[in-house]
Amino acid sequence: MTFKSRNKSLMLFPVLVLAVLATQTVASAPPPPNPVLYMMGTEPYQTGGKHLIRYNFDVLNKADYPAALFAAAPDLPPCGANTKASRTWVDIFDQRGKRLNGFCALGKPNDLTGIWFALEEGIVPPSYVYIEMTDRQTNIKYKSNLADTVS
């Protein structure tokens, strides 16, 4: 090895080390945690002549989710007629796994404050519910805890 080529190698070494460290930092970023679901309360409302009770929920750790998870994803399959559905869809299930409601157009993590399901007045709600957040781009699901439906 000549002096000139050795000098070039020594000059490139720090660049290589920085590139490896930067790659490791990005690759080792922890994935978002599972959502921590809790009930905020209930509210009566009417639609189509029916009297319903809406069960409102929030995700305690919604700030731990990157905004990119909720960006519009027109390159992914639509949600009905909505061709700009979000990358991540959120579904609410009872403790037995029956789907109660879903959200396919949440625009940012803070929109997790407004998730809900509704039942006709007089119907006993399930004791517990949970949500699944499905990142349609990576096909990763984030499943929450069981949250009580009694406020």
Mean pLDDT of 27-52: 91
> What does pTM read for this prediction?
0.80
Q: Say whether both 107 and 58 belong to one domain.
A: yes
Q: Say whether both 41 and 83 belong to one domain.
A: yes
Q: Which two tokens stand for residue 141?
A: 């699901």
Number of domains in the chain: 2
Q: Say whether both 74 and 139 belong to one domain.
A: yes
Q: Say whether both 42 and 2 belong to one domain.
A: no
Mean pLDDT of 113-141: 97
More confident residue, 145 or 26: 145
Express each pLDDT in 7-21 by its tens digit: 555 555 555 555 555
Q: Say whether both 20 and 46 belong to one domain.
A: no
Q: Please provide the DSSP assignment of 46-112 as one string.
A: EETTEEEEEEEEEETTGGGS-GGGGSB-TTSPPBTTBTT-BSEEEEEEETTS-EEEEES---SGGGG
Q: Say whether both 73 and 23 belong to one domain.
A: no
* CATH number, residue 141: 2.60.40
Q: Say whether both 138 and 118 belong to one domain.
A: yes
Residue numbers of the domain that contains 18:
1-30
Q: Say whether both 26 and 44 belong to one domain.
A: no
pLDDT at 84: 83
pLDDT at 25: 47
Residue 2 in this model has a pLDDT that exceeds 70: no
pLDDT at 83: 86
Express each pLDDT in 53-71 by its tens digit: 999 999 999 999 999 999 9
Q: Say whether both 65 and 94 belong to one domain.
A: yes
Q: Which two tokens stand for residue 53?
A: 């009770």
Q: Say whether both 3 and 75 belong to one domain.
A: no
